[in-house]
Structure 1
Amino acid sequence: MNILKAILLTALLMGLEVLISLGVYEFIEPKVTDSLSDNSLIHYFGITSRIPTIIAYFIVFYLSYKTVFNFNKGIEKMKGIKPEFLLYLILIAIGLEFFDRPLFDFNKIYDYFSGTELKPFEFSESSNLSVLYRGISVLIIAPIFEEFFFRKFLFREVLKKHSLTLSILVSSICFSLIHLPSYRNLLPTFIFGIIACLIYNKTNNIFYTIILHFLTNLSWLLLVSYGKSYYEWSYGLNYNFVYWLLFIFGIGLSYIGIKKITVANKV
């Protein structure tokens, strides 16, 4: 696959999701939302906000991903997962949480060191239903669909015509772009994409990257939903020595996990 096609497929995926979401917003939402209770509204938005993503992926898979998933081969891949690798994936997920923190805090860090008065810390409480639907999205839909598309399909197809480095960059850039308009998430997802490509390239087992994606998103979900104390503590460090020491610690943990997996699976 050439690079232009990879970019166009990603744009098609994003465009389809937007169009389907607009269709739901314009034609379905006005007819049903006024008659729903608060809990029913949570169910409604929880379901309708995920359906466009699923439909968009299925359409793009149908148009471009001609290889039918081999169920038996998939079972073999799952059985072939090495238990010790799960520990390495956990190390990477924990490491990325500390490593990504300054990337998400970039604006706050800039304001702090430029002398701008920082806004008071705010933590958004979420209902259990909201956490449930968010969990379905980030723990099931995202790890499975995104890994199959951006690693197993896009990365592998681009690799057939281009170098490993260029294929990793293309896949990771496309992966980061689907997280727009959350610009704060662009660099963290780009870095995650690189790591996932490295692991998939060395193991040839997409379930490792699916598990890593799940663990990374689980860490994020637990913290944004129930991690008020953690964020208060992190925010209170005021980007001091301990804050940056944790950043370096995160790099170290991630590096160890990646090294252990990739060295053990030289192909």
Structure 2
Amino acid sequence: MRLTKALLLTLLLIIIFLLVQIGVFGLLELFDQPISLQNPHQKWISKILGFVISYFFLFKVFWKVEILNKLDSKLNNYKISILIYLIILSIGLELIYQPLFDVNKLIEFYKNGYLNPEKENYSINQIDLLYQIVTVILITPLLEELFFRKFLISKLLKKNKEITSILISSFCFAIIHIETPLNLIPSFIFGVLSGLIFIKTRKILYSIFFHILMNSYYLIFLINASNYNDWIYNLNFDYIYWSLIIFGSILTFVGMKKITTANNGSSQITGIDEKV
């Protein structure tokens, strides 16, 4: 019963978040007629505003704290070694993700014995790239980690076990990243790892840094998508391809092991008012 209530409350928060976003988009679209947000600056600003306003609405209603004052200013409490292991973890996780996004191509290859990927033309203009950097690397990691890890996991921990809190938070995190079904599992895995990092270190800035790293890789691959896809699919899923996946698994295990054992002697999170 307790788990059901926690899940229902969390899903309610996600629904409210999406409704607020839709409402902001609708208002901006209404006031922009008849241009209909064709201008790239207006389009991106509307997206960013919808995203930011939605999160701050949730923070204001459900999390009655001054968010900016909760970010830890004592940077000397942070360990360089954990930052290094976060880099190792993020590289490993990015390698593990590859088969999850290649699942259709893997089926095609092992069914037909060959792979014939279509030649795709990837391009991104400078305006889109600039807004992508601002959104994906600066705004998204901060707000998503504050909500799904700092607020939501801490809230769930009051009445649920750690694993339950992490799984619920990760499920909801994956739901809002379901642009395509292939994105669901990687988002869920990321949510679990980021949740573990937050619980074991009790410092949200580690999770934010981890999120920034993963989003940075996304932009790098987006910019170099054609060259990267040509290289990865020319491997034809041979031993090099799977060796990279195994190597990524090792990096992920080592990085996560080091990070989650860094504060074994420290106290557990007790609630949303715990210092970052």
Distance 1:154 1:244 in 2: 36
> Is the CA contact (8 Å cut-off) linking 2:85 and 2:258 kept in structure 1?
yes
Distance 1:73 1:142 in 2: 16
Query: Which SS does the other structure have where 2:123 is aligned?
Result: coil
- Map 1:222-233; keep pairs closer than 5 Å: 222-233=220-231
> Is the CA contact (8 Å cut-off) linking 1:6 and 1:158 kept in structure 2?
no
Partner of 1:179: 177
1:44 to 42, 45, 59: 42
- Cα offset for 1:117? 6.4
Partner of 1:134: 132
Q: Hey, which bits of structure 1, 4+ residues long, moved more than 6 A?
A: none
Please identify, of 175-184 and 13-22, the stretch whose mean Cα deviation from structure 2 is larger.
Answer: 13-22
2:79 to 76, 82, 85: 82
Partner of 2:213: 215
Deviations 1:43-62 (A, max 9, x none): 22221121111111111111
Partner of 1:113: 110
Normalising by the residue count of structure 1, what TM-score does the alignment of the two structures yield? 0.91
Please identify, of 10-19 and 252-261, the stretch whose mean Cα deviation from structure 2 is larger.
Answer: 10-19
Distance 1:117 1:236 in 2: 9
Which structure is higher in helix share?
1
- Map 1:10-25; keep pairs closer than 5 Å: 10-25=14-29
> Is the CA contact (8 Å cut-off) linking 1:92 and 1:255 kept in structure 2?
yes
Deviations 1:102-142 (A, max 9, x none): 11111222222222864413241111221111111110111
When the two chains are superposed, the root-mean-square deviation of aligned CA atoms in Å is 2.0
Normalising by the residue count of structure 2, what TM-score does the alignment of the two structures yield? 0.88
Distance 1:198 1:150 in 2: 12
- Cα offset for 1:250? 0.9
1:122 to 102, 120, 123: 120
In structure 1, the gaps of 5 or more residues are none
Distance 1:178 1:72 in 2: 25
> Is the CA contact (8 Å cut-off) linking 1:121 and 1:235 kept in structure 2?
no
Relative to structure 1, the CA distance from residue 18 to residue 33 in structure 2 (aligned partners, 3 Å threshold; closer, same or farther) is closer
Relative to structure 1, the CA distance from residue 29 to residue 247 in structure 2 (aligned partners, 3 Å threshold; closer, same or farther) is farther
Identity %: 34
Query: Which SS does the other structure have where 1:265 is aligned?
Result: coil
Please identify, of 50-59 and 61-70, the stretch whose mean Cα deviation from structure 2 is larger.
Answer: 61-70
> Is the CA contact (8 Å cut-off) linking 2:122 and 2:225 kept in structure 1?
no
Distance 2:19 2:70 in 1: 33
Equivalent AA in structure 2 for residue 144 of structure 1: L
Partner of 1:5: 9
- Cα offset for 1:72? 7.0
Tell me the matched-pair count.
Answer: 260
Partner of 2:188: 190
> Is the CA contact (8 Å cut-off) linking 1:200 and 1:208 kept in structure 2?
yes
Equivalent AA in structure 2 for residue 22 of structure 1: G
Partner of 1:102: 99
